[in-house]
C-alpha cells in the first residue's frame, strides 16, 4: 500500500483535522484539571522543597511534554466543537489513568477491545474519532475514513517524523529496524507505515540481528526468535542486506544510538567502507522531550537520594525508562501511577521493573530523607503535586 499517498488524500478530506486551535476556554479547563501551583513554586525554588525532615528534589524536566499537552487539548476542543456527535478514541489518548478518566467523564468513548483486537463495529458514519498522541495504524485510519467518520488526529509530530523515516526506507527498499516494543501502539502504528521491518526491543536483540548478518547465528534460531516481530514474509537472508534505523520515540535515547552504531559497525564489517552507504542509513528520530526527561533524570540521580519515586502509567514506555535509570544507579526506586498507591500507614504499592505490582511497608525511612521525584511525559503536574503532599504528610506522621 502507498501509505504516503493515502495520508496525502486523507489530509485533504474535510472530515480530517489535525490543528490545535488553542481555544481559551479549553486552556482554562486543562489548567484547572492538570496544573499545579505547588509544582510551579517548587520549580521557582530550584526544583527542591524542604519540609521538616523531608527534602523533595524534582527532576528539572518532567511531566507533560508538548505533544501530550497538544493531544489532551485537542481532545477537549473536540468535545467543545462536536457537542452532539458521538466521540470515540482509538486508544488511551496518552498513558495516564487520570487523563483518560477525565475523558470518560466528558463522554468520550474508548474503542472496545475484544480478545486483544479492537472492535470498531459500533463506530458509525458521522461519528467523531480521535487518534491519540502516539498515532494509529494506517489500516485504522483507512477504516475510519471509509466509514465516513470525522477524524481528529492528535498524533505527535515527532511520531509522524518517524513514520516519514520508515516511508523513506520503504521507497529506497531498505528494511526498517525499529527499536521499540512490538506490541506498543506507537510501534504498531509505525510498522504499519513501514515496508519491510523488524522490531528489536533492546541492544541484546540488536546483537542477535548483527550475529545473524555476520553468520554467527543460524537462520532457524533467528526466525524462531523474531517470528512475531517482523513484516509478513520476512526473509532474514534477503531482508537484512540494507538497513535503516527508526525508533519508538519514547525508548532510551542512548540505547537507540548504541543499536544504530552496532548495526552500522556490522554492515561496515560485512560490506566494507566503500559500500557502507548502500547498506546502512540512520535518521535522528529521537524526540526532544524524551531526551530532556532522560537527561534531567541522569542529573537527578547524581544527587544524594535516599529513594526515588517515578510517577506515570504502568504502560508508559518513557516512564519505565526513567525508572531504569534510577535502578541502574542502585537507588531504591518506586514506580507508581497514582498518588493513591501511597498509603497513610507508610505503605506503598508499586511496580518493580518487569514485575507485577507489589506492596511494601515502611516505605519512607526514618530520619532526614531526600526523595527524588520525576514523572513521565503523560503525567499531569496535579498528580505529582498529590504525591508530594502525601509524602509530606507521611514524613509528618511517621517516625521522626
List of residues contacting ligand SF4 (CB under 6 A): 65-68, 133, 156, 158-159, 249-250, 287, 289-290, 318, 377
Question: Residue 149 Cβ, how far from ligand SF4 at the closest point, in Å?
Answer: 23
Report how far residue 250's alpha carbon sits from residue 307's, in angstroms, rounded to the nearest whole number: 24
Nearer to ligand SF4, 156 or 307 (CB): 156
Give the orientation angle of helix 24-34 with respect to helix 381-397, to 10 degrees: 20
Residue nearest to ligand SF4 (CB): 67
Strands 54-58 and 108-110: unpaired
Bridge partners of 199? 178
Beta carbon nearer to ligand SF4, 315 or 349: 315
Residues 193, 201: Cα–Cα separation, whole Å: 19
Q: Which three cell numbers stand for residue 334?
A: 518506586
Q: How far is the CB of 94 from ligand SF4 (least distance, A)?
A: 7
Active-site hit among 185, 186, 255, 324: 186
Rounded Cα gap, residues 293 and 379, in angstroms: 12
Q: How far is the CB of 168 from ligand SF4 (least distance, A)?
A: 18
C-alpha cell belonging to residue 303: 544527587
3-state secondary structure 285-299: CCCHHHHHHHHHHHH
User: Which C-beta is closer to ligand SF4: that of 54 or that of 289?
Assistant: 289
Counting Cβ atoms within 10 Å, is residue 274 exposed (0-12), middle (13-18) or buried (19+)? exposed
Instruction: Tell the smallest beta-carbon distance from residue 35 to ligand SF4 (Å).
Output: 17
Q: What is the DSSP letter of 260?
A: H
Task: Output 256 or 290, the one with its CB closest to ligand SF4.
Answer: 290
Q: Residue 12 CB: number of other CB atoms within 10 A?
A: 8
For 179, the grid coordinates are 527499536
Closest CB to ligand SF4 among 98 and 290? 290
Write down the least CB distance from residue 20 to ligand SF4, Å.
13
Residue 352 carries which DSSP code? -
**Is 186 a residue of the active site?**
yes
Annotated catalytic residues are 186
Amino acid at each position: 500500500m502507498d501509505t504516503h499517498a493515502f495520508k496525502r488524500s486523507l489530509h485533504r478530506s474535510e472530515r480530517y483535522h489535525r490543528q490545535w486551535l488553542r481555544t481559551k476556554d479549553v486552556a482554562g479547563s486543562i489548567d484547572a484539571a492538570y496544573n499545579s501551583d505547588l509544582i510551579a513554586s517548587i520549580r521557582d525554588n530550584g526544583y527542591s522543597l524542604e519540609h521538616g525532615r523531608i527534602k523533595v528534589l524534582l527532576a528539572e524536566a518532567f511531566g507533560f511534554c508538548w505533544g501530550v499537552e497538544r493531544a489532551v487539548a485537542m481532545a477537549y476542543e473536540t468535545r467543545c466543537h462536536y457537542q452532539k456527535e458521538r466521540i470515540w478514541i482509538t486508544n488511551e489518548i496518552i498513558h495516564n489513568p487520570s487523563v483518560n478518566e477525565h475523558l470518560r467523564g466528558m463522554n468520550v468513548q474508548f474503542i472496545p477491545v475484544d480478545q486483544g483486537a479492537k472492535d470498531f463495529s459500533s463506530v458509525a458514519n458521522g461519528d467523531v474519532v480521535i487518534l491519540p498522541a502516539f498515532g494509529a495504524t494506517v489500516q485504522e485510519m483507512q477504516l475510519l475514513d471509509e466509514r465516513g467518520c470525522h477524524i481528529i488526529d492528535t498524533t505527535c509530530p515527532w511520531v509522524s517524523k518517524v513514520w516519514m523515516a520508515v516511508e523513506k526506507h520503504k521507497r529506497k527498499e531498505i528494511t526498517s529496524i525499529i527499536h521499540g516494543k512490538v506490541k506498543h501502539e506507537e510501534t504498531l502504528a509505525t510498522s504499519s507505515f513501514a515496508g519491510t521491518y523488524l522490531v528489536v526491543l533492546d541492544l541484546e536483540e540488536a546483537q542477535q540481528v548483527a550475529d545473524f548478518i555476520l553468520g554467527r547465528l543460524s537462520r532457524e534460531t533467528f526466525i524462531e526468535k523474531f517470528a512475531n516481530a517482523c513484516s509478513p514474509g520476512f526473509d532474514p537472508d534477503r531482508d537484512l542486506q540494507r538497513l535503516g534505523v527508526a525508533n519508538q520515540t519514547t525508548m532510551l535515547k542512548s540505547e537507540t544510538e548504541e543499536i544504530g552504531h552496532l548495526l552500522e559497525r556490522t554492515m561496515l564489517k560485512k560490506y566494507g567502507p566503500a559500500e557502507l552507504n548502500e547498506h546502512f542509513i540512520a535518521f535522528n528520530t529521537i524526540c526532544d522531550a524524551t531526551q530532556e526527561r532522560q537527561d534531567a533524570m541522569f542529573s537527578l540521580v547524581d544527587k544524594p537520594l535516599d529513594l526515588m519515586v517515578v510517577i506515570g502509567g504502568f504502560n508508559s514506555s518513557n516512564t519505565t525508562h526513567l525508572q531504569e535509570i534510577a535502578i541502574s544507579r542502585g537507588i531504591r526506586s518506586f514506580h507508581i501511577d497514582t498518588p493513591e498507591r501511597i498509603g497513610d500507614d507508610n505503605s506503598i504499592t508499586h511496580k518493580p521493573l518487569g514485575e507485577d505490582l507489589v506492596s511494601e511497608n515502611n516505605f519512607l525511612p526514618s530520619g532526614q530523607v531526600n526523595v527524588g521525584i520525576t514523572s513521565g511525559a503523560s503525567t499531569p503536574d496535579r498528580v505529582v503535586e498529590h504525591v508530594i503532599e502525601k509524602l509530606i504528610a507521611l514524613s509528618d506522621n511517621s517516625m521522626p
